[in-house]
Chains A and B, each alone.
Chain A
Amino acid sequence: GAVVSQHPSRVICKSGTSVKIECRSLDFQATTMFWYRQFPKQSLMLMATSNEGSKATYEQGVEKDKFLINHASLTLSTLTVTSAHPEDSSFYICSASEMDERGYNEQFFGPGTRLTVL
C-alpha cells in the first residue's frame, strides 16, 4: 500500500511557541491531504482538507489562523500550530488520498504526531 510519513513523531514545546508538522506521501501523488486531531479515547476529528495548490477547507470550529495548512506540492502538506497552548496537546494525524478512475480514494494515514504543550 501507499506510504505516508509524518515528522516529527513527537514534539514537546512551551506554551506560546509554534510547531510545524510535515506530512509526505512517499510513493504516490496525493491530490488531497487531510489533517485530523485525536484526543485520548476519542475518535478522529477532521480538522481540515487540503488540495494541492489551493486553500485548505477547515471544519467548523477549527481556527484557520491558529492551524495553518500549506499544501505546496502533491507530496507535501504542513500543519503549523501557532501560539500553541496546553489545550492543543493532542495526537495529530495526516492522511493522503489519490483519486482513481472509479472515484475511489482510500485514505492512507501517516503515523501521527504527538504534541505536548507545557
Chain B
Amino acid sequence: GQNIDQPTEMTATEGAIVQINCTYQTSGFNGLFWYQQHAGEAPTFLSYNVLDGLEEKGRFSSFLSRSKGYSYLLLKELQMKDSASYLCAVKGSNYQLIWGAGTKLIIKP
C-alpha cells in the first residue's frame, strides 16, 4: 500500500528552528511537496523536491532523500504566524498527490 508518515503535532519556541520529518512508501515517485495550511483555510504551496538534496527558500528549507523515502521541512527563525499544519504530499506513479495527515505546529512565545 501507499503510506506517508509525519508527526501529528510538534511544539517549538518563537525564534527557534524546527524540523518536520516525512517518510513515504509509494508506488512510484515523481516529486514531493510541502504545503502549509492554517486552520479553516486551503493549503498553500511551500516547496517541491524531485531530486535529492536541500532546497532553500528564505526561512524555509526542504530536504529529500529518495533512497531513504525521507524528507524534512526546516523552518528557521520561527514566527507566531508559522503556527499551522504542514502537509507532506508525494506525487506517485499516476502523477496524483498522496497526502500525509499533516503535522500541527504550535509556536510558543
- Report which A residues bind B (CB closer than 8 A): 1, 6, 34, 42-46, 49, 91, 93, 103-112, 114
Segment at the interface with A among B10-18, B63-71, B72-80, B92-100:
B92-100
The answer to whether A46 and B96 touch across the interface, beta carbons within 8 angstroms, is yes
The answer to whether B96 and A43 touch across the interface, beta carbons within 8 angstroms, is no
The answer to whether B41 and A111 touch across the interface, beta carbons within 8 angstroms, is yes
Determine the chain A residues whose CB is within 8 A of the CB of B28 once the complex forms.
none
- Which of A6, A45, A106, A114 has the largest number of chain B CB atoms within 10 A? A106
CA distance A115 to B18 in the complex (A): 34
Minimum distance in angstroms from B35 CB to a CB of chain A: 8
Determine the chain B residues whose CB is within 8 A of the CB of A44 once the complex forms.
43, 87, 99
Determine the chain A residues whose CB is within 8 A of the CB of B87 once the complex forms.
43-44
The answer to whether B48 and A43 touch across the interface, beta carbons within 8 angstroms, is no
- Which of A1, A43, A103, A108 has the largest number of chain B CB atoms within 10 A? A43
Determine the chain B residues whose CB is within 8 A of the CB of A93 once the complex forms.
42-43
Residue pairs across A and B with Cβ atoms less than 8 A apart, 11 shown, are A42-B101, A43-B102, A91-B40, A103-B30, A103-B95, A105-B95, A108-B45, A109-B35, A112-B40, A112-B41, A112-B42
- Which of A1, A42, A44, A108 has the largest number of chain B CB atoms within 10 A? A44
Determine the chain A residues whose CB is within 8 A of the CB of B7 once the complex forms.
none
B24 within 8 A of A: no
The answer to whether B41 and A107 touch across the interface, beta carbons within 8 angstroms, is no
Determine the chain A residues whose CB is within 8 A of the CB of B48 once the complex forms.
104, 106
Minimum distance in angstroms from A40 CB to a CB of chain B: 9
Determine the chain B residues whose CB is within 8 A of the CB of A6 once the complex forms.
42
The answer to whether B99 and A43 touch across the interface, beta carbons within 8 angstroms, is yes
The answer to whether A109 and B31 touch across the interface, beta carbons within 8 angstroms, is no
CA distance A90 to B95 in the complex (A): 26
